Structure 1
């Protein structure tokens, strides 16, 4: 059979793609939102065909949601409780997103199948051809179309023409095939089915597990959750970390979960109705078994409110009236099924009070119960319930009938969950045929096992207490009192070849020491070009450091960028020199500074640790290495450390021409100090770690072979930089690295880091450097480190890797507003504006005073085409930062919306 182009009204595609999550919307006479004027009858959908590309786009979105729901909930019992709850919450949101699309386009389906529509048979033929034979569909995808096909069958039955009769037969055969598909997945066996007719669905040989496995290749549960604003925190802190101290949650008597019910007691609840067909079928089943239940109604399915807030009941209200007359409790499930945790003010109250007004108009005996859509609530919503004298009812057993298309699977899940919990509130939905099919089997089994069913009697159930995790240990510190530095850079030599990058290298190091590592500017002695004479350099060491107030618990960092020289002594040993600006090449043995003098200076310093970094080439120092320690910080504080890292050997030239006007060595050094040198991820960069990062990285991109070692007199101490937590909230003003810098960093990082690396010592031999063991770190510190790595990766435009790091930060610390914003901005940078907006919304919930997050939120909504929300976000930004440099530009953005 040859497929034909799909030329149908948009409603058909939307209803199809919703699949097993189909939502039949009972249309009231008007569809006004709570408190808004009624707008009269909805406008009928046009009969004209829609653009094929537009139809395909809508279909892909809806089918993608259907598949994502399956991926989210596959093997969901193996997930930790928190992750399982979040997966279900997002799955419900995706499901209701499809419901919204279907509800808005429901009338178009009526127009399509009307006998007055001359193109109806061509459109329906194209649609059925797609369902029956499109190669992209799996059998399980076709289960999504059962309820739609049933509606189409009923509509076609009203037409007595010969084409309609043939079409009726074809749809009936398709429904028979879908029944066979359902039985196939119930049994989970592979078999070949017979020919069901030339025009009907031809069954494949697939197992449900195979279908799910294919979907998992398309989507991952973590990514689906993340795109919907959820990162599930670690159930158990990573090894080597200490959990955060959190206050024990307080018992909330305003909510009912069912955990306080007597043993073997069940409450049945049904959400999202009333439905014009399935609600009454469920009521009939409950009546047959003599079982009570609570129905939570969505207000728009009951009717609308006029401008004065008076109820105008629709057809669905009669279904709820019958439920109340038969003794069932009917409660409030909001007006539009919005996620109320994201609503505030009048809009939030309207969602609650609008439906309450409609329910009271049906009967004053309505149950004073409320269920938050998706279970998503906030303190303002709970307060609004209290003011309205409504009680929140949650659940502890989810049937997942909104996601699972197979009735027997729903039955098995509910029975297994009830058996495990022993009691509780079961969540069903009275808008699915599969729920109607599953319910009798559930009731038969539970009644046989002696369960009893409770109805609403005005009493409340208590929520079980939780246990708070153990408190966090006090974080460790490096223990330095003061930090000193001597920074020297010489380009403008009088008698040696001039250099281009040394002064800029020195300036970059100075800025990093002061701005990142909090060295006091007055303690960073800087000598550039003509200032860096032999006398001034020695005076900096002897006068400024040795006699300038350095104490035994201080640290000293020395950086030299300039010429280095090597002279072979009569003994055959090489001796290295650093070359001051006033040195003469003909007599550098007397007017340059020998490394033996630097060594003597190092030994005379009273500081605990000193680290010399020389962006010049040397050899000829007899260096030694001290051993590591498991109790690193404690033992390191007791040991004197004198270490040196040089750019290369005595016969090598330093490679200039790195990014941003730096030498390759200094650029790599700066990258290491920015965080890449933290090889064990504990937030500390030791001199050993820095050498282990810098030496192999520089060697991989140049002809230099950096050398590292400890000066004689060192007792094995290791100089330590403690990385500060980055505080930058990513925004359009965040600078990223140049193309040249990103290219070099990619080369530097191409070689994977190992637990140990082999580098040169300053005599030209080889030594193995073992990275120190990680210091015990709190989960909060680990989260900060992950955010910092993400920021670095973002600046290198490695968006996928940055996303992973910000995600890791949120797993470790779910309330980390900085990481939430930064994750959102990574989505924004990739033009995923809806996903970005969700994370910016999370950010402002975590930190309502963070102005930049509102600016980002406004930009995301503007790009997504939601002008109203963009304006609201921009308005809040301007209220928080009216004098910011970006405020005029934001006002211009608002004017253009």
Structure 2
């Protein structure tokens, strides 16, 4: 896990008067030192920016008050609240742009006090009086923009500021994650960091906001007063069905059942629009992008279009097959516009869209859904059609991706069909979209696109093909990990507990399993009753859900007993089993099968580092046909270390068995045979089984248990973020030697691997076909592969991978540093220094790159430059574990 070295954690108990159930964690950064005294003549007045930031926060809070408790509102009240909330949101977007421009101007000035002025503003975000945890997410987009602007300045104060903002953004991400875990069902989940990390209950935060603002008062300020509820009217006489239309408008209610239309408003955005398009492409899902005209360009006095960079984004969206549509010129509330102003809002954007795409669609969406009769008539005269929505993601109000996804899926369940409103101007929408699409596909929904006349599902009436496994579709991840060395009546083992510990650490640290959902049983705890109760009691009490996954690992003795029918029956042996009472004391594979079928989880994978026979597996390999709809198929898979009468080899590196060492290497990334950053159960077996067989007398077996529907357990590899340096650990020589042998047997992506099933037969495993990924994803994957190769001291291959990463992503500071360190390890110090310099240019606040640069300069005989690099490192990380090393190096020069 990436560690934020400059934070010091101070735990304090909340005061008695604080909200019930809250507690506080302060994280303070030593970089927040008192500002240097600045002459009054050079002091900078940032009061206007500060005032705008406070107004931004007030609007953010009002949006929360408006949209909170949405389930208790009538449909009319909800529509009014959303309309005013969207207006508040768009006013805030303009305010953010204004503050953004002011900060950019401040940074480009030559006033030496500019960094102190910016520091004052960041102080407010981090520790402003009266700010709740949830408040700070209001400033996230502003902080992201400021980070990019500061990166353009290479001075030391700018580098320090860059580092501070980077750490604050990391903190904001953790705020989101922590509340996401804690109160998933509530509208927002927030927390804070250095930025002092506190954790108040969401109800307490909302209660505080309601003392500041009232929904009725906010609505009234924006010209809305909700009338008293009208008496129920008698049902109108039945007439021709108007489902889905109102005065020619399209709402989506007339779509076929289980059909949705994906729409994105307010772009184009220079980054998020194309990221969203790349996600949609993975699902073969069509979409409509309703764009604001001023984001595309302007019209001169003669009505000629002058396009800007946004138009280039639009062209690329069009080339990718997406529909371009009109969302007015300035996002004004058109229900209040008339005459020439109203006409310009509609037709100016239409002219710009025609300049981008002469075959632009005739679809139009009124901002906020607010329209009047005159506007509707103008649409008709211009041959445009109004498209509304019936499913609002509220991504404009809700800053937490999981909450957005939950809302959309709940509303889709209620409506059964419709047009979904998203916005392509938020990072949170990018994060929420995959889990939404995963679930919709799993539940059999179709995605409809606009064909010029109506919304239709292209091709056969079947769910859109998803080209990747739905790893992100898991709600929770569980594990039962068992390791037994100290048997009471069986021979003692040397490796099993260490194997179990290694697997447990891998699940938590690499794959994000929550520690409280990893049930670990070691030695005396791993009795028969203890193992069975872990399944029957602890999982049940943990509220196991249908969209969860379960990983089971057992390291210990296995045994095989021949039944009177001649069939073999395998057992796993608990710590208290008697060899003479195997049938009653051990756990037969038939019971494991029954447990697997009874678990309500989506996917389960059993990995047994024990040898036995007699488990009937129903199916073998995965294939591309059911990766397509993996999210809706149950999966029950098992991988075992060997067959009957085979001894488990315990001579692996670091005290592991050969099987578990190979398993850990596979989960570390080697089992991603098709390079899509996902490891399926089949890929894991296709890597582990032949590799273990090649270096031992074991023949691992793999297959699906009865009750499986062909679903695949999926691990999603996280992006590695380690900057290589002198502290980076590499594998021991014996580990490298074994890995070399294992990799010699690794399957090529398209190659079939034949492995044993547990009845002695053979099954063929084929890794899923690789899926298209973006250049950024390819670059990350190349970097991750480079890290694995570096740790195995395969420097030439690691150099090639880091080089590939930089070809795909020229601004990839992580890969630039890592390439430099590969040169450093090969004593190519001049080349190393160049790449460390490149990394610093790409990410000027990355302290470790300065340490590496100092080492490279020192070894290249450039003492003065080395001192400068070490000095900058100490300025950025004065209390880091390697600060003493840097000072020693400076003294030597």
User: Which TM-score tier does this pair reach, normalised by the shorter chain?
Assistant: 0.3 to 0.5
Larger radius of gyration: 1
TM-score (norm 2): 0.48
Higher relative contact order (CA 8 A, sep 6+): 1
TM-score (norm 1): 0.48
